[in-house]
Structure 1
Amino acid sequence: MKIVRWLPALALTVSALGHADGVSDLKRFLSSTSGVQGQFNQVVSGKPGAPTQISNGDFAIQRPGKFRWSYRKPYEQLIVGDGKRVWLYDPELRQATSKQLSAALESSPAALLAGDNALDKTYTLRNLANRDGLSWVEAIPRSKESTFDSIRLGLKNAQVVAMELQDHFGQTTKVFFSGLTQNPKQSADLFRFTPPKDVDVVEE
């Protein structure tokens, strides 16, 4: 079973109580960031006894609304947001699924990364205590239609280095980022997708 998630970056200041004003840093980072790219490692775990799924790849984001999330191992899979629609391409299944960007971004982790700066309209944000040497921010989706109960972002040295996503099915997805570059020069082709020939296309 292949699990698809999306997501990236911020800033950090530690208070005397051992907490950080991550919410303010997150908003400030997003307001000054037009894009970010890097690599990720992802671990998905379910209920006790369920197998753990591990994957990795690279990503690029150009705000607002454009992103590329590419899984390399153990299966190739590509997610591209072109500003209007989001494409999910599975080379093994020879299938590409397309949906409206607004439907794909609303109350999803991608909204934190590729959406606009109006986070308070979509999430309830709060600072959490420092953990594992990181400053943590929790984002609770306001919409009941969201598939996630909560999203937590771990920050260090002015960058997001981890995310934890808890969904309604008892699964926890942890994403660890590396090699992050803020506001890089990015080709427009990164955020375009044309289905290859002989691929089934499903529009939602």
Structure 2
Amino acid sequence: MKKYLLTLALPSFFSLAWLEPARADAVAMLKNTLSSTVTLQGRFTQTVTQQSGKPQQSQGQFAIQRPGKFRWSYQAPYEQVIVGDGSSVWLYDPDLRQATVKAFGNALESSPAALLAGDNALEDNYTFKTLPAKGGLSWLEAQPKREDSGFASIKLGIRADQVQEMELLDRFGQVTRIRFDELRRNAKLDAALFRFTPPKGVDVVRE
């Protein structure tokens, strides 16, 4: 199960039948949401559902400083940390005493983290469409343009100019749902949040 947690940061609309105005509205909504956000922090609850098996839930905290910096910290049921410093992305597993580092572009292109922490060049990596409102949220769907993306589609629920929920479908039919709570936008964040130094004795794997 732990390996699925890590895929989130590494770690969103399609169909030619949709009219261009609707597509433009979807992109504009997300761009407006992101352009008004310099920093964002809060808590998240993540539920991963595979095609067979019991759903697995995890919780933690996150912080984002746009463009390109983020920290995603799982606290339960396993401790894991994912840090993007703008040039590299670190994935640290304290239990395994292992840290994996990837180039920032390779780790984030066509990924959920690129949506939240990246710039506003959304149409370079995604095609968009508007979905019906549900649960008091305005919903969008994003489909990565790259065929080697780990995700088939990403849905975002927006309210009050903030992304409140995300739903990710990967290429194997696994669904990851994320709910954000206690959101604080545009507060000053400690720069140390977005730096990672492997602890002594930790194996470092470079990809």
Say whether the fold is shared (TM-score over 0.5): yes
Alpha-carbon shift at residue 167 of structure 1 (Å): 0.3
Letter of the structure 2 residue corresponding to residue 90 of structure 1? D
The 5-angstrom pairing of residues 113-128 of structure 1 reads 113-128=116-131
Gaps of 5+ in 1: 8-20
Q: Provide the C-alpha distance between the structure 2 equivalents of 1:32 and 1:158, rounded to a whole number of angstroms.
A: 8
Aligned residues: 190
Q: Which protein is richer in helix relative to its size?
A: 2
Q: Which amino acid letter does the alignment assign opposite residue 166 of structure 1?
A: L
The range that moved more, 130-139 or 70-79, is 130-139
Map 1:37-76 to 2 at 5 A.
37-47=41-51, 49-76=52-79
Q: Secondary structure at the match of 1:169?
A: coil
In the other structure, the counterpart of 2:87 is 84
Deviation at 1:202, TM superposition (A): 0.3
CA contact (8 A) 1:141 1:148 kept: yes
Q: Is the 8 A contact 2:39 2:186 kept in 1?
A: yes
Match of 2:38 among 34, 37, 44: 34
The equivalent of 1:168 in structure 2 is 171
Structure 2 portions without partners, runs of 5+ = 12-24
Kindly indicate whether residue 165 of structure 2 is the aligned counterpart of residue 159 of structure 1.
Answer: no
> How much does 1:132 deviate?
2.0
C-alpha offsets along residues 76-133 of structure 1, whole Å, 9 cap, x if unaligned?
0000001100000000000000000000010100110111110011000111101122
User: After TM superposition, which residue ranges in structure 1, 4 or more long, deviate above 3 angstroms?
Assistant: none
**Alpha-carbon offset, residue 50 of structure 1:** 1.4
The match for 2:152 is: 149
Give the letter for the 2:44 counterpart: F
SS at match of 1:143: coil
TM-score, scaled to structure 1: 0.90
Does residue 1:97 correspond to 2:100, yes or no? yes
Are 2:187 and 1:184 aligned? yes
- Other-structure match for 2:206: 203
SS at structure 2 position matched to 1:24: helix
CA contact (8 A) 1:22 1:135 kept: no
Q: Following TM superposition, by how much is the alpha carbon of 1:22 offset from its aligned partner in structure 2, in angstroms?
A: 4.5
Output the amino acid matched with 1:62: Q
